[in-house]
Structure 1
């Protein structure tokens, strides 16, 4: 009498994850490959954005320290040149550049009060443009994380549904519905759902994390812009 552990259940079931992937149908494999691409690109974005945000935060803190301890805007302008990642430093560079142009206008004999108020509007528009430009940099590639987080579970579910359809087709062809026939196909199909969740969960977590960090940095830029505008307005009043 044969040992029960040596009985052939009539299926090609492999207990290992790799074995189940290899035994999966073409569509399930295609879905898994697509999810792998989504996951790899998402993790690449996560690592790059994390490094970028860390550099931005570090340089913003350093620039703010230089800004607070400086008594002249020209000194701040010199210090701002060494910061390549700082968002507030870029806003300052744009604002200071516009202020330099205003100063040249006021040195002309034809300058008047209307020119002063018009110049203030020019500075404000320049600061807004710089803030929007930096915000675009901060949010760049985050849309892919959002897409991965929202679409991957459904892509995985599609692979699972397709795999289950193939399983039932196999049941119909064999004319039997034993556990040995059903279990391999179902387990292989469910891998797609698991892969979809594995790709989506990190993408959603880091998307929300980066979005929150971006909002904080945008608020810092807005606050700095308002403070810089106050300086410009006081300068124009003295003129």
Structure 2
């Protein structure tokens, strides 16, 4: 029994180490993806597109940016649909938004899972460490008090490790989730502008 407890305690620390490496890898991958996806496109680009849609009567304008970003891809896709005279523009743009959403939220469930469960994994390690400490107390008696206290101190490190992993992971997950939400809201705004442009063009 004691051997399994010791093995479990060691496994918990190995799991926390693996979780921290995995979380760091996902964080860096998502950070690079968001930077690449947004490029240098900012609010001025969105304002340019909206102004052009509101003022133009025909699809005879092009965006100045050549950066491959989420916004520019979406705009170019919408312009192609308009220039080809495709029906169901609203549905096509909604499908494009869903496609971008899948890419934006990719691997975020990993961060969410680690952030929610790392404290419990650390707590499990602490429980196993306390079991080991009390077993040592029962075996060694009062003469082993120093050994028992060291065991409890080590056990508490598991909880600290779990919190050390969970807190930055939750912050990273919230950051990327918020960024993805803002991007998707901007795409919804662009979709509405393209839909209004098509309606005005049809009426005209």
TM-score, shorter chain, exceeding 0.5: yes
* Residue aligned with 2:84, SS: helix
Does structure 2 retain, via aligned residues, the 8 Å contact 1:163–1:185? yes
2:97 matched to which residue of 1? 131
* Structure 1 residue 74: Cα displacement: 4.9
Root mean square deviation, CA, Å: 2.4
Q: CA 1:177/1:161 → structure 2, altered by over 3 Å: closer, same or farther?
A: farther
1:221 matched to which residue of 2? 187
Q: Count residues in correspondence.
A: 195
| Match of residue 62, structure 2, among 76, 85, 90 | 76
| Match of residue 30, structure 2, among 49, 69, 80 | 49
Does structure 2 retain, via aligned residues, the 8 Å contact 1:157–1:192? yes
1:102 aligns with 2:85: yes
| Match of residue 167, structure 1, among 133, 155, 160 | 133
* Structure 1 residue 190: Cα displacement: 1.0
Ranges in structure 2 where 5+ consecutive residues have no aligned partner = none
* Structure 1 residue 230: Cα displacement: 1.3
**TM-score in terms of structure 1 length:** 0.73
* Structure 1 residue 133: Cα displacement: 1.0
**TM-score in terms of structure 2 length:** 0.84
Q: CA 1:123/1:59 → structure 2, altered by over 3 Å: closer, same or farther?
A: farther
| Match of residue 149, structure 1, among 107, 110, 115 | 115
1:1-239 correspondence runs (5 A): 25-61=6-42, 63-64=45-46, 67=49, 73-76=59-62, 79=64, 82-84=66-68, 86-102=69-85, 119=87, 122-176=88-142, 179-238=145-204
CA distance in 2, matches of 1:127, 1:98: 9
More displaced stretch, 156-165 vs 65-74: 65-74
Does structure 1 retain, via aligned residues, the 8 Å contact 2:59–2:82? no
* Structure 1 residue 194: Cα displacement: 1.0
* Structure 1 residue 95: Cα displacement: 1.7
* Residue aligned with 1:165, SS: helix
Ranges in structure 1 where 5+ consecutive residues have no aligned partner = 1-23, 104-118
